[in-house]
Structure 1
Amino acid sequence: MQNVQTTTLNRSTLMFPLALVLFEFAVYIGNDLVQPAMLAITKDFGVSSDWAPSSMSFYLLGGACVAWLLGPLSDRIGRKKVLLAGVMFFVLCCLAILLSQNIQQFLGLRFLQGIGLSVISAVGYAAIQENFAERDAIKVMALMANISLLAPLLGPVLGAFLIDHVSWHWGFIGIALIALFSWFGLKSKMPDQQISIPRQPLSYILDDFKQVLKNKRFLGFTLSLPLIAMPLMLWIALSPVMLVEQLGLTSMQYGLAQFPVLGGLIVGNVVLIRIIDRFPLGKTPMMGIPVMLLGTCILIFGAIWRDYFMLSLIIGMTLISFGEGISFSVLYRFALMSSNVSKGTVAACVSMLLMFCFFIIIEIARELYVHFHIWAYVLSCFVLIALWFVYPRIELKRIIQERKQQGQF
């Protein structure tokens, strides 16, 4: 286990998270700008629009496949070295995709770009959790989430602009420049931590992973994360097809429809920052996830009474986003701290499980959407949120009670 001295949150120590969130913004807009452009991209490559959600799922799959290496590697040689190398690799992949000649090459490079997700979650987030005290780390994560949410807010509008006026290729050039700028910020502002983990052979990685994955509490909290994150992920993946093709919205109308939905997530994160010190840690998910369930019920209402579908869709997804905003960062903290194994390895496990779940669920939902359309999306959201109340809620109540008995607020 690593022993890293935490710092207090102030203007000086905030510069590292701001540099990291700039890369996070680049990685996220690498999805949110591209998704609305996928209809044009599939047309350029001469394939069906059914391929459109695969751009996101392959992006997520790429994020899942190397986390097992990046997290433990950063434990041994330092977070900063791995993070800087990962940012530069992402920049090169964004430029390489400009040369793709068919949808298979495009998706292959999307897979490689997705490694940037692991760089953030398995290395960057671990550094944040280690550098800051418990509640400060949650505040930093919520603040970073709000800044990175500019990506899904601006991405659809910029994607629509690219479709209507220039080429989707320019989007990847812009993303590469943003990531390159963040590289310089991280090189300057990210602290160089002293590694206290014993210098063990890489074969020990497998033993560490086994120890983490045998931890039932870790699995309970980690597998609860995709349950509450997937409805919004499905919205990002399927809304171009759902809103533009099926409901007939223009590209610009599609972009504007993202504002209330993603605005709900921003408001949720702001509320979390404001109230995190007033309640026992873990209380906000107990408030937020029932709000998400209400949002899925409103989606079902709109699917039944189609005259109100668009209004129900926006209201329901906004409630879902708000609930996620006041819940996700807390649950992530619990998942990461539920094991005593070095945090790079634990973060890698979280990242892999999350990304594989995202990939599998998106591909299943994509296939179901082909056959059942709106109902596939609506019921998928409802089932995912409802599953959280089966086991994760019980485990969360248990840890809140344990912390209360130990005198932890």
Structure 2
Amino acid sequence: MNSRPTPALPPEPTGAPASTDAPAYVPNAKYVLLLGAMCALPAVSTDIYLPSLPDVARDLGATATGAQLTMTGMLLGGAVGQLVIGPASDRLGRRLPVLIGIALHVVTSLLCALAPGIVPLIALRVLQGFFNASASVVAMALIRDRFVGSDASRLLSRLMLVIGVAPLFAPTIGGLIAGFAGWRGVFVALAVFGAGLWVVVWRRMPETLPAERRRDGGLRAAIAGYATLLRDRHFVALAVLPGFGAAVLMSYVVGSPFVLREGYGLSANQFALIFAVNGAGLVLGAQVNASLVRRYAPIRIIRIVLPLSVTLTLALLALALTGFGGLPALLVVMWMLLALVNFTPPNASALALGRHGAIAGTAAAFIGATQAGVSGTVSPLVGVLGGDVVAMAAVMAGSATIGFIVLALATPAYRAGGWTT
């Protein structure tokens, strides 16, 4: 148990204190695993497919940029999907939207396996992202239904232990599947994973939004909810921070197969090993953050981590430009940077969600859509700028720097007394 009082959060614009709609609840391991598997569905859909990108480009006669668009298309589809599914979960409850979304993820995965060209594949990946967004946005709303502040941040960080299994093992598994059944077999595996998750959610996921707390109305209510969020400048600033953190990560994700395999001549197995080691850094960072929020307010952690991230991205860019230290130096700095990536999203998301508990689904959708939209818009710049190590490092540095500027100018993190809440 954490005897330290939870750091105070700014009052919610709805006027309802967080404690009235976040009853005390201690999550067990099965609950954490369930939420982690839901949050991991988009990550698995991304990472298991990574080793196949060069093969997709060759098989479908596409450029590297075209193959990368099958990744970013899923992110953009996820951004739109969360904006739709979040308000739907506030109106219909949490179970129905996620069950429908995962079922349609299974269908689109099978259609991806049959795609005849790069353009249909990109379009289907957009739909796949739209539908599997239901799992992640509902998982976020489930957390806000029961937790706030540091408790929510700690649970989000613990979830990264489950989500982190995707970058650790998914590329290796995807490479093995692709070696046996081709890249189309990878999408069949995604359909099987989605079907299994659907069964688990159907049997095990509780309904955390009772009928009396659901919001009435359709499109008008959704628009009103988003209008409320947009009027809260502090919420918007906190909500976009995970997006720039995800842009750093996704720039690495979409660029690394070409940078490491084609630029540095690594084999598929060597790439998978490096990706797994970096994935371990992501998981380790998330767990360190989960321990730190027991002692420090989330905003205090963010205000230290973001400047460190900017420094490391600039160091990475310098190494890419000069070639100093070769691949080993590049990998060391990259590991350190990726170990910090998972500090900002859980803390910023928990603080943002704590301001709008009455429309948790809509708020979670806004955060998730911003995260997917920013990263999905920024990460293709790696291919546009040349797809080499300099392009990847430059986009990562730009994303981290903009995130730091948002924190400094649009939140009280660096103002006198502003970081004490």
Q: Give the TM-score normalised by structure 2.
A: 0.88
The CA distance in 2 between the partners of 1:31 and 1:211, in whole Å, is 32
Deviation at 1:386, TM superposition (A): 2.0
Contact 1:336 1:347 (8 Å CA) reproduced: yes
* 1:19-56 Cα shifts (integer Å, max 9, x gaps): 23223333312111112201112222122333221111
Contact 1:19 1:186 (8 Å CA) reproduced: yes
The CA distance in 2 between the partners of 1:319 and 1:219, in whole Å, is 28
Letter in 2 for 1:84: L
The CA distance in 2 between the partners of 1:116 and 1:399, in whole Å, is 41
Equivalent residue for 2:290?
Answer: 273
Tell me which of 135, 144, 149 is aligned to 1:134. Answer: 149
Gap change, CA 1:390 and 1:307, over 3 Å in 2: closer
Unaligned runs of 5+ in 1: none
SS of aligned partner of 1:6:
coil
Matched, 1:207 2:224: yes
Equivalent residue for 2:84?
Answer: 69
Equivalent residue for 2:8?
Answer: none
Equivalent residue for 2:261?
Answer: 244
The CA distance in 2 between the partners of 1:236 and 1:230, in whole Å, is 10
The CA distance in 1 between the partners of 2:79 and 2:336, in whole Å, is 28
Gap change, CA 1:186 and 1:376, over 3 Å in 2: same
Contact 2:316 2:393 (8 Å CA) reproduced: yes
Unaligned runs of 5+ in 2: 1-13
Gap change, CA 1:66 and 1:233, over 3 Å in 2: same
Gap change, CA 1:284 and 1:117, over 3 Å in 2: farther
Say what the alpha-carbon RMSD is for the aligned residues.
2.3
Deviation at 1:59, TM superposition (A): 0.6
Deviation at 1:152, TM superposition (A): 1.4
Matched, 1:114 2:124: no
Contact 1:299 1:313 (8 Å CA) reproduced: yes
The CA distance in 2 between the partners of 1:162 and 1:131, in whole Å, is 39
Letter in 2 for 1:187: W
Gap change, CA 1:121 and 1:396, over 3 Å in 2: farther
Tell me which of 89, 94, 106 is aligned to 2:109. Answer: 94
The CA distance in 2 between the partners of 1:359 and 1:163, in whole Å, is 25
**1:7-406 → structure 2 map (5 Å cutoff):** 7-11=24-28, 14-192=29-207, 193-195=209-211, 196-339=213-356, 342-370=359-387, 373-394=388-409, 395-397=411-413, 401=417, 404=420
The CA distance in 1 between the partners of 2:180 and 2:318, in whole Å, is 38
SS of aligned partner of 1:389:
helix
Runs of 4+ in 1 over 4 A off after TM superposition: none
* 1:264-294 Cα shifts (integer Å, max 9, x gaps): 1111111112221111232222232233223
Quote the sequence identity (%): 21
Q: Give the TM-score normalised by structure 1.
A: 0.90
The CA distance in 2 between the partners of 1:59 and 1:15, in whole Å, is 28
Gap change, CA 1:307 and 1:68, over 3 Å in 2: closer
Deviation at 1:254, TM superposition (A): 0.9
The CA distance in 2 between the partners of 1:160 and 1:133, in whole Å, is 39
Deviation at 1:403, TM superposition (A): 7.3
The CA distance in 2 between the partners of 1:279 and 1:130, in whole Å, is 23
Equivalent residue for 2:7?
Answer: none
Deviation at 1:164, TM superposition (A): 3.4
* 1:101-121 Cα shifts (integer Å, max 9, x gaps): 111121111111112452134
Mean CA deviation greater in 278-287 or 395-404: 395-404
Contact 1:88 1:183 (8 Å CA) reproduced: yes
Contact 1:60 1:355 (8 Å CA) reproduced: yes
The CA distance in 1 between the partners of 2:256 and 2:74, in whole Å, is 17
Count of paired positions: 401
SS of aligned partner of 1:342:
helix
Deviation at 1:399, TM superposition (A): 8.9
Contact 1:97 1:109 (8 Å CA) reproduced: yes
* 1:367-388 Cα shifts (integer Å, max 9, x gaps): 1125xx3322222222222223
Letter in 1 for 2:363: V
The CA distance in 1 between the partners of 2:269 and 2:142, in whole Å, is 38
Contact 1:98 1:172 (8 Å CA) reproduced: yes
Letter in 1 for 2:272: G
Gap change, CA 1:116 and 1:147, over 3 Å in 2: farther
Deviation at 1:341, TM superposition (A): 5.3
Letter in 2 for 1:232: L
Contact 1:8 1:133 (8 Å CA) reproduced: no
The CA distance in 1 between the partners of 2:170 and 2:56, in whole Å, is 15
Letter in 2 for 1:92: V
The CA distance in 1 between the partners of 2:193 and 2:404, in whole Å, is 40
SS of aligned partner of 2:31:
helix
Contact 1:63 1:118 (8 Å CA) reproduced: yes
SS of aligned partner of 2:265:
coil
Contact 1:280 1:400 (8 Å CA) reproduced: no
The CA distance in 2 between the partners of 1:399 and 1:351, in whole Å, is 27
The CA distance in 1 between the partners of 2:215 and 2:123, in whole Å, is 37
SS of aligned partner of 1:191:
coil
Contact 2:313 2:397 (8 Å CA) reproduced: yes
